[in-house]
Amino acid sequence: MENKLRFTKQNTLAVKGIAVIFLLTYHCFSNESRLYGHQVEFWPLSQDMAMMISRCMVQCVGLFAFLSVYGLTLSLKKQYEQFQFTGKDAALFVFKRYVNLVLLFLLPFIFCAAITLLTGTSRYSNGFWANITSVIMDILCLGHLFGTQPLISTWWYLSLEVLLIVFLPFAIRFYKRYGWLTIAMALLPGSFLLEKHVHLTKYLFVVPFAVCFADRQVLERLKNFSIVKNRFWNKLLKFVITTGLLILMFLLFDSRWGIQRFEFLLNGLIPVVLIYWAYEFIIELPVLRQFLEFLGKRSSDIFYTHTFVRAMWLKDVTYSFKYAVLIWLFLLGVSIVISFILDGLRRLLRYRQVTGAVSGWLVSWAERTI
């Protein structure tokens, strides 16, 4: 490839930073019920316009899902050339990634559960054994999948992450056999056969895109592609076309007609186009790049904890700032502070070394057993 472009780990972190911005905005301002009766000023936007934009930022789910599958695909491709893996190889790959997901989540879970108990804000309330089951399912990242009571509803995404890990080898098998046709094969049943508006299925259209993009280096090829020879006009044309496409898709996504007919399609296309747009125009800008990468490094901790801050621990404090920008900055700031606290606990407990040893032992056991 001409300029040897690569969608790097730093680029991935920067896109995760954008996803964090979307995540906080969506959860804070997407509808009036999320304001908890507080009066919020959205200047210079009207409340209706601000909430419309915030609703569209639910695409943070698609961004995170795409990046997860993209990274897993590259990891599998690096480990097994041309995706030549056996059933046992696939099972071990899935098991290792699942164990790592659970172990990485365990400390934030313990931290959040402890704070909710101390502050009397725990949402486990179905009786002793039902609560024990809910705790176990939350720790195993399976709560939403099995319908148990979650400590916080935001953690539903962890069940989606488990599905992405489990079904990745199957998606790659289909891709290896059918190539780009895999996208159409996923679109048809996803649009007409899957139940509508279900969290665990409506974002799955990003999977074939992520697999294809990772294997074929599509993001890099798109960035290297020239519509016209003049560099300035080429960049401008790309910006106008992709920005216009994103606006049209977001308008369609926010309409009742569009969401009823094209939800599955849009939940796949919007994150893909948005990631390319960010890669082409945003994430390598000086200063902004460093800020987005910083958020990306903290994205997991922010995801795990921000809803507790906004909806349980400091709800009235969060929305007391009146202005949407100040509310957003306060929530981000507290979430980052919590992330630093969690990092301190990880160092104090030597958490990464311990979980690495546990993961290694479990994977070794699985290799002997499977």
Contact between 348 and 107 under an 8 Å Cβ cutoff? The reply is no
Q: How confident is the model at residue 5 (pLDDT cuts 50, 70, 90)?
A: confident
The pLDDT of residue 1 is above 50: no
The pLDDT of residue 20 is above 80: yes
pLDDT tens-digit readout, 175-232: 999 988 999 888 888 777 776 777 888 899 999 999 999 999 999 999 999 999 999 9
pLDDT value, residue 82: 83
pLDDT value, residue 199: 81
Contact between 160 and 199 under an 8 Å Cβ cutoff? The reply is yes
The pLDDT of residue 125 is above 90: no
Per the structure block, which two tokens stand in for 179?
């190539």
CB atoms within 10 A of CB 336: 18
pLDDT value, residue 187: 87
pLDDT tens-digit readout, 138-165: 999 999 999 898 999 999 999 999 999 9
pLDDT value, residue 2: 44
Q: Report the length, in residues, of the chain.
A: 370
In whole numbers, what is the pLDDT of the chain averaged over residues? 92
The pLDDT of residue 54 is above 60: yes
Q: How confident is the model at residue 370 (pLDDT cuts 50, 70, 90)?
A: confident
**Residue range 349-361: average pLDDT?**
93
**Residue range 329-333: average pLDDT?**
97
The pLDDT of residue 310 is above 90: yes
Q: How confident is the model at residue 122 (pLDDT cuts 50, 70, 90)?
A: confident
Q: C-alpha distances in angstroms, 365 versus 75, 102, 106, 349? A: 22, 17, 21, 24
The pLDDT of residue 265 is above 90: yes
What is the spatial distance between Cα 270 and Cα 275, in angstroms, rounded to a whole number?
8
Q: How confident is the model at residue 120 (pLDDT cuts 50, 70, 90)?
A: confident
Contact between 40 and 77 under an 8 Å Cβ cutoff? The reply is no
CB atoms within 10 A of CB 64: 26
pLDDT value, residue 254: 92
The pLDDT of residue 272 is above 90: yes
